[in-house]
Structure 1
Amino acid sequence: MDLMPLVAPLMTSPLLYPLLVGVSTLDGVLPMIPSEAAILAAGVFAHGGTPSLWIVVVAAALGIFLGDHLAYGLSRSVFGPRLISRFTHVSRAVAAASRQLDRRPTLLIVTSRFLPGGRVTMNAACGTARVPLSRFTPASAIAALAWAAYTAGLGFLGGAAFVESPVLGLALGLGLSFVIGGIAELVRRRSARREVRPEDSPVAGRGLTPPHGPTPGRVREGACH
């Protein structure tokens, strides 16, 4: 079934922009909403001149920004921990993210946007860890604009590659998004393993004093007292 006759009128309608704001906002708390596909499709059609690529990016970024703060507010409220604890996988991911927020929170918030499931997890972690809005809001704005431009840009490239077939352009954009997201996730996991290795080193396992621990001289001084 060819969906283009149904999709094309929407993609060339002024209603597209508020729709992008809406789906991008709801996607912040309901990940099953296909905001990425909608932004990609808008980017594909933007190659033809309508809709405007720049307005697509701004509308999507605005929705993402609002959705981030909606998720942040919910997770910071009394209902947040209760909702998160109902999903074991989510609660573990949020706990792991929360432990890293004391280091480079802005970088984590921005880069998590490009990881599968990273947006919801990091926003929930920021809320439960009570990251100040003075730090969360600027990072969310940067992340929202970067991800909106990235996603719409992938769609635009797909539309340029398959001018006569928007479906193939959308498929190319989705494929590139999955590949780049998968590579980013692999890099993140390798980095996380490297950070864990020093704690699991043979020196720590044998009960030997690590290099940064107290020196023998200091131990003897404590014994003399």
Structure 2
Amino acid sequence: MTDAIHHFIEQYGLLAVFLGCVAEGESAAILGGFFAHQHVFVLWHAIVASALGAFIGDTFFFILGRSFADNRHVVGLRRRPGFRRAYRLLNTHPDIFVLSNRYIYGMRLVGGIAAGLSTVPAPRFVILNAISSVIWAVLFSTIGYVFGLGAERFIGQALLRHERLLVGLGIGLTVAILAWLIARQIARHERAKES
């Protein structure tokens, strides 16, 4: 069973990192770095998958905001907590917002839509988004890689390869749950401020 899990992660792990980074991403990028430390795949592959996923995700949301502003799904996203704040920040400091939006948990989706609705030129957004995506991917994948070093020392050298993979999956799940709880708390706080 654990060999099947290991084989599955080897075959589809980078794809999962890429898709996870398209959606939100921090936990996927960290997990990619952790698995790179476990020699499941190479660290720079995890960084490239994370950067591409982050870049494509934000560009997709930018295009949604720019080209489909009246679509009911985009209108629904504009009603999400934090959208007004993101739009206000974007209009006051557009370059800084595009470069830093992905670091504010829960703002990435609404930030991409807000950027698409703003007057930020598309080429400028693409360049800033690419720079931000690469820096973000290097940072979070490296955190996962370094955490892998710490986890190996903490857990000990005695763990077998399949046990390390299961520990990695557990760490990824824990990070995802913590991120979800934090995002939920931020959303509640934003709703309370908007009321």
Structure 2-normalised TM-score?
0.70
Using the TM superposition, give the Cα deviation of residue 160 of structure 1 relative to its aligned residue in structure 2, in angstroms.
0.9
* Matching residue's letter, 1:60: S
1:112 aligns with 101
Larger displacement relative to structure 2 (62-71 or 98-107)? 98-107
RMSD: 3.4
Matches within 5 A, 1:115-154: 115-154=104-143
Read off the aligned partner of 1:75 and give its amino acid letter: G
Structure 1: state its 5+ residue gaps.
Answer: 190-225
**Deviation string, structure 1 residues 43-67 (Cα, Å, up to 9, x no partner):** 1121133300011101210121111
Q: Point out the structure with max Rg over C-alpha.
A: 1
Give 1:82 deviation, angstroms.
3.3
After the TM superposition, which residues 62-211 of structure 1 pair with which residues of structure 2 at under 5 Å, given as runs?
Answer: 62-79=52-69, 82-86=72-76, 89-90=79-80, 93-163=82-152, 164=159, 165-168=164-167, 175=175
1:17 aligns with 2:14: yes
Q: Residue 52 of structure 1 aligns to which amino acid in structure 2? A: V
Match of 2:46 in 1: 56
**C-alpha contact (below 8 Å) 1:11/1:51 kept by paired residues:** no
User: What's 1:207 paired with?
Assistant: none
What secondary structure sits across from 2:82 in the alignment?
helix
CA distances 1:22-62 after superposition (whole Å, capped 9, x unpaired): 4433x1xxx5xxx4433322211211333000111012101
TM-score of the pair, normalised by structure 1: 0.62
Percent pairwise identity: 25
